[in-house]
């Protein structure tokens, strides 16, 4: 089974059933060393259930979870969970603290629980808190902390025992933009330190900014797992945003007709009713669907300049792309699951 030294986590036919309901169904997934894998899915898709199975808080109905520790990839069982999970740090769901305790007390307790060398615990706690710039809060009671600060301490609690793998379930939910940015930067810092991160989120922008690979789950089934670029190529669908200098000098209807005439033949998409240039009145941004191929992107870019448009900005925003891919994939998979169910009912009849 252990044929790739880089694999740190492997889900093999991972399944969890509650009664007759499949919360997670036959998931196969491999996460390699140093990767950030974003785990996406609508509410109730099975993200948290998957993470809880990994934490051995839920026992899989079928299938296996393999985790690497000390160079060896081993199947997670009741017997070796202490040993294997020592190499994993978890932050599952919203963390809540004993509010009359300080970060030092709580993090020291957690580091001790996970077997971190006792004489080094004090320094380690100070080190992880420092990573988030919360050193001056180390000895203050958590009841005085903001939501963002609590979430950061929650992430500190996941890494205080210095694991190779960090599993974060919705770490940025409910945070203000500044705190979200801090968490995002911190996750990237962890990656730079060689950590492997498995991260679920509803915030597509956050995932698109940091994830090397995206895993999309819907109704318990893994419907996509690849890099964002590869998903884009597979879907043959992406979006270009561009802004023109002083759009007020144009008649908007005429301008859109002209842009459509120039750009649409270059998008690489045929026979699609959505294949036309759009304009956002508020942001003054034009949106062009295209097939995601860089060559087409370049052709559109050149065509705009060739036709003397004053292009201020031209980009392919990953967040929009991910959102569009996510919605398409979820819709497709939901339709497929429904048609499979109908087929079963018809066969049954």
Partner 1 sequence: MSKELIQEQLELEEIIMEKQEIGIKRYLTQITDTINFEFKRTGKTFIIMLIVYFAIFSLNLLIYELQEAAGVELPEETINYIEGYFGFFGLLIIISTATFGGSIIAEDFQKQTGNLLFPKISKSRLLIGRVISRYALNAILIIFYYILVAIITNYKYGELPDTLIDSMGWALFYTFMLFTFVIFMSSINKSKSAAIIVSILLFLIGFNIIEMVLMVTRTGIEPLFIPTYYENIIEASLDMPDPRFEEANFGPHGDDVKFKRWLTPSTSGAFIGMSLFSVLLLIAAFFFYKRRQSKNE
The interface region with partner 1, picked from 96-104, 183-191, 228-236, 328-336 by CB under 8 A, is 96-104
**Interaction with partner 1 in 158-177: which residues (CB under 8 A)?**
161-162
98 lies in the binding site for partner 1 (CB under 8 A): yes
Considering the complex, state which of residue 157 and residue 218 has its C-beta at the smaller distance from partner 1.
157
Binding string, residues 43-72; x marks residues near partner 1 by CB under 8 A: ---------x--xxxx-----------x--
Q: Which residue in the block uniquely carries the two structure tokens 């870019």?
A: 301
Binding-site size for partner 1 (CB under 8 A) equals 37
| Alpha-carbon distances of 107 from 111, 126, 179, 184, 311, rounded to whole Å | 6, 9, 20, 21, 52
Single out the residue of 72, 120, 122, 302 in contact with partner 1 (rule: CB under 8 A).
120
Instruction: List the 7-18 sheet strands across, edge first.
Output: 21-32, 7-18, 62-69, 72-75
Residue 122 Cβ vs partner 1, minimum distance, rounded to whole Å? 14
Single out the residue of 5, 62, 82, 185 in contact with partner 1 (rule: CB under 8 A).
82
286 lies in the binding site for partner 1 (CB under 8 A): no
Contact 15, 24 (CB under 8 A): yes
Residue 45 CB neighbour total at 10 angstroms: 24
210 lies in the binding site for partner 1 (CB under 8 A): no
94 lies in the binding site for partner 1 (CB under 8 A): yes
Contact 112, 72 (CB under 8 A): no
Q: Which residue in the block uniquely carries the two structure tokens 């080190």?
A: 127
Single out the residue of 110, 132, 198, 309 in contact with partner 1 (rule: CB under 8 A).
110
Residue 157 Cβ vs partner 1, minimum distance, rounded to whole Å? 6
- Distance, first Cα to last Cα, the chain: 42
Considering the complex, state which of residue 79 and residue 249 has its C-beta at the smaller distance from partner 1.
79
**Interaction with partner 1 in 2-41: which residues (CB under 8 A)?**
none
HSE value, Cβ hemisphere, 13 Å, CA-based, for 34: 5
| Alpha-carbon distances of 80 from 73, 87, 318, rounded to whole Å | 12, 12, 40
Considering the complex, state which of residue 27 and residue 92 has its C-beta at the smaller distance from partner 1.
92
Contact 210, 184 (CB under 8 A): yes
Considering the complex, state which of residue 194 and residue 271 has its C-beta at the smaller distance from partner 1.
194
138: three-class secondary structure by DSSP: coil
The interface region with partner 1, picked from 83-91, 173-181, 247-255, 261-269 by CB under 8 A, is 83-91
The interface region with partner 1, picked from 99-107, 192-200, 205-213, 265-273 by CB under 8 A, is 99-107
> Are β-strands 7-18 and 21-32 bridged in parallel, bridged antiparallel, or unpaired?
antiparallel
Considering the complex, state which of residue 86 and residue 206 has its C-beta at the smaller distance from partner 1.
86
Contact 54, 12 (CB under 8 A): no
Single out the residue of 46, 95, 148, 268 in contact with partner 1 (rule: CB under 8 A).
95
Instruction: List the 165-169 sheet strands across, edge first.
Output: 88-91, 165-169, 196-200, 36-40, 213-218, 221-226
Residue 143 Cβ vs partner 1, minimum distance, rounded to whole Å? 12
Residues at the interface with partner 1 (CB under 8 A): 52, 55-58, 70, 81-83, 85-86, 90-98, 100-101, 105-106, 109-110, 112-117, 120, 154, 157, 161-162
């Amino acid at each position: 089974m252990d044929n790739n030294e880089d694999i740190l986590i492997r889900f093999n036919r991972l399944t969890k059933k509650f009664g007759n309901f499949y919360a997670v169904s036959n998931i196969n997934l491999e996460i390699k060393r140093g990767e950030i894998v974003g785990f996406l899915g609508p509410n109730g898709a099975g993200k948290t259930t998957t993470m809880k199975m990994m934490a051995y808080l839920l026992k899989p109905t079928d299938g296996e979870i393999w985790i690497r520790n000390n160079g060896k990839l081993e199947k997670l069982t009741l017997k070796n969970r202490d040993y294997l999970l020592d190499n994993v740090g978890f932050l599952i769901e919203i963390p809540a603290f004993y509010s009359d305790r300080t970060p030092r007390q709580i993090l020291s307790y957690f580091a001790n629980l996970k077997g971190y060398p006792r004489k080094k615990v004090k320094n380690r706690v100070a080190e992880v808190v420092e990573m988030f710039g919360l050193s001056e809060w180390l000895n203050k009671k958590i009841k005085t902390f903001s939501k963002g600060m609590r979430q950061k301490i929650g992430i500190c609690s996941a890494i205080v025992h210095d694991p190779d793998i960090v599993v974060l379930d919705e770490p940025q939910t409910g945070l203000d933009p500044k705190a979200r940015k801090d968490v995002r930067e911190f996750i990237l810092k962890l990656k730079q330190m060689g950590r492997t991160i498995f991260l679920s989120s509803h915030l597509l922008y956050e995932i698109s900014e940091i994830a090397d690979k995206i895993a999309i789950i819907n109704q318990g089934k893994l419907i996509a797992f690849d890099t964002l670029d590869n998903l884009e190529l597979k879907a043959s669908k992406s979006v270009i945003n561009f802004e023109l200098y002083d759009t007020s000098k144009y008649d908007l209807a005429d301008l859109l007709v002209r842009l459509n005439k120039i750009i649409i033949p270059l998008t690489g998409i045929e026979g699609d009713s959505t294949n036309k240039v759009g304009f956002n009145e508020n942001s003054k941004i034009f949106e062009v669907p295209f097939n995601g191929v860089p060559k087409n992107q370049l052709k559109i870019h050149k065509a705009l300049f060739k036709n003397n448009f004053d292009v201020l900005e031209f980009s392919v925003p990953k967040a929009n792309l991910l959102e569009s891919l996510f919605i398409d994939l979820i819709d497709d998979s939901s339709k497929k699951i429904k048609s499979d169910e109908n087929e079963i009912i018809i066969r049954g009849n």
